Amino acid sequence: MNQLPKLLGFQLNNQEWFAENVSLLSIAQKYGTPCYVYSKQALIEAFSAYEGACLRLDGSRRARVHFAMKSNSNLAILDLFAGLGAGFDLVSGGELDRVIAAGASPAVCVFSGVGKSVAEISRALQVGVKCFNVESIPELTRINAVAKQLNLIAPISLRVNPDVDAKTHPYISTGLKDNKFGIAYESVLETYLAAKNMSHCNITGIDCHIGSQILDINPYIDALDRIFLLIKELRTHGIEIHHLDIGGGLGIDYGGEEAPNITDFANTLLNHIESCGFGDLEIIFEPGRSLVGNAGLLLTKVEYLKPTEAKNFCIVDAAMNDLMRPAMYEAFHHIEPVVQKAIPQNIYDVVGPVCETGDWLGKDRPLAVEPDDVLMILSAGAYGSSMSSNYNTRPRAAEVMVSDHQTYLIRERETIQSLFAGEHLLPKKNEG
């Protein structure tokens, strides 16, 4: 695996890389590095690929996309998807306020997550989210109590843990028995029965999410089949399910993976649902990575080349705090110079300035580079900026969107001052 992933919105022209005809080098010069760059065209194309399956020819809907905003929660991206008709999957009060700030309606937001606080639940009830994806009986009890206090009814869906193996990285696999996520398959019926008896809960749906970066469609079919059995069983207990949320998780090409085509993937699942007799349900997809992953990259500048006895290091100005995925999951991101030079290649470990051995962005990469060259780290649109941190008091990177051959700064680089603006010294002794 070290192939260039299939990219939309970014092209090589005369030995130089462009985002929608804007030179990436010029973006690095204008906005500085490290800098995330997104292609609006690529975002729209990925969204349209889902819509290709979700919309019927007559304009009616078979399903709706709820963007999993944890993958990238920049307001400009949320606003773009909201304008295209997306709903949202969110997992915190912070994400709820963010999506409202981007202009989306809470009525198209599903609220997932295993640890919703009382404050988060009451805010979500007051603004009127579409539903709570509930992950345990204690959570259900809490939601019911908060709704009762506010004199509101909470729409709820139970997140089923279908116990299928999505065959992905253990840290991003969520549908197995020993994950913290969802309600164990055998306990789902009793949990629905408990919910039915709660005065301030209204059962609206059922959902599952089996993991992330999934390249095989079969685990989805297995999970659906298990959920169909539950829906039938629930009916015999007088519980009607109105929506089925299949979760997200579709994988992307990072460097040679055979990722399923989005439209084919969504069509296969929707056809399966319809052929099994569940076509009357409202269907929800919750993709994150497959919408934004390959629509974004991270620009970084080479600071130093450091040959050592064992390795050559290419030390760049981006680090694990900017893109955590390699350090956290040993994830592969393809790395290329934005201007391809006719100089000899060397094999490098591409590393950042952070004081951790785990601070690497790519290992054993053939690169023809010199100090001050700009590199692009590909497939960084998902779980890149949204997972970034300020470790080593490093300001978070700028973010730029290219749209119609223009560049727009969609997030300013943080200032160093802002990083400690909320911190306070203890009073000195003589100040009392």
- From the CB of 112, what's the least distance to ligand LLP, in Å? 4
CB atoms within 10 A of CB 328: 15
Q: Which of 287, 296, 352, 362 touches ligand LLP (CB under 6 A)?
A: 287
Q: At which residue do the structure tokens 């203890």 appear?
A: 426
Site string for ligand LLP, 7-46 (x = CB under 6 A): ----------------------------------------
Q: Which of 123, 130, 200, 209 touches ligand LLP (CB under 6 A)?
A: 209
Q: At which residue do the structure tokens 């009986």 appear?
A: 137
Q: 413 Cβ partners below 8 Å, 6+ apart?
A: 31, 32, 35, 395, 396, 397, 398
Does residue 249 touch ligand LLP according to CB under 6 A? yes
User: 50 or 348: whose CB is closer to ligand LLP?
Assistant: 50
Question: Which residues in 101-120 contact ligand LLP (CB under 6 A)?
Answer: 112
**3-state SS, residue 312:** strand
* Per annotation, catalytic residue among 109, 131, 314, 355: 355
Site string for ligand LLP, 128-147 (x = CB under 6 A): --------------------
Q: Are strands 10-13 and 16-19 parallel, antiparallel or unpaired?
A: antiparallel
Q: Cβ-count burial of 283 within 10 angstroms (0-12 exposed, 13-18 middle, 19+ buried)?
A: buried
User: 22 or 331: whose CB is closer to ligand LLP?
Assistant: 331
Q: What gap in Å lies between CA 296 and CA 252, rounded to an integer?
A: 13
CB atoms within 10 A of CB 184: 13
Based on the residue annotation, tell me whether 131 is a catalytic residue of this protein. no
Question: Which residues in 314-343 contact ligand LLP (CB under 6 A)?
Answer: 325, 329
CB-CB contact of 318 with 394 (8 Å): no
Does residue 175 touch ligand LLP according to CB under 6 A? no
Return the closest-CA partner of residue 179 out of 136, 130, 118, 126: 136
Site string for ligand LLP, 52-71 (x = CB under 6 A): ----------------x--x
Active site residues per annotation = 355
Contacting residues toward ligand LLP, per CB under 6 A: 68, 71, 89, 112, 172, 209, 212-213, 247-250, 286-290, 325, 329, 382-383, 387
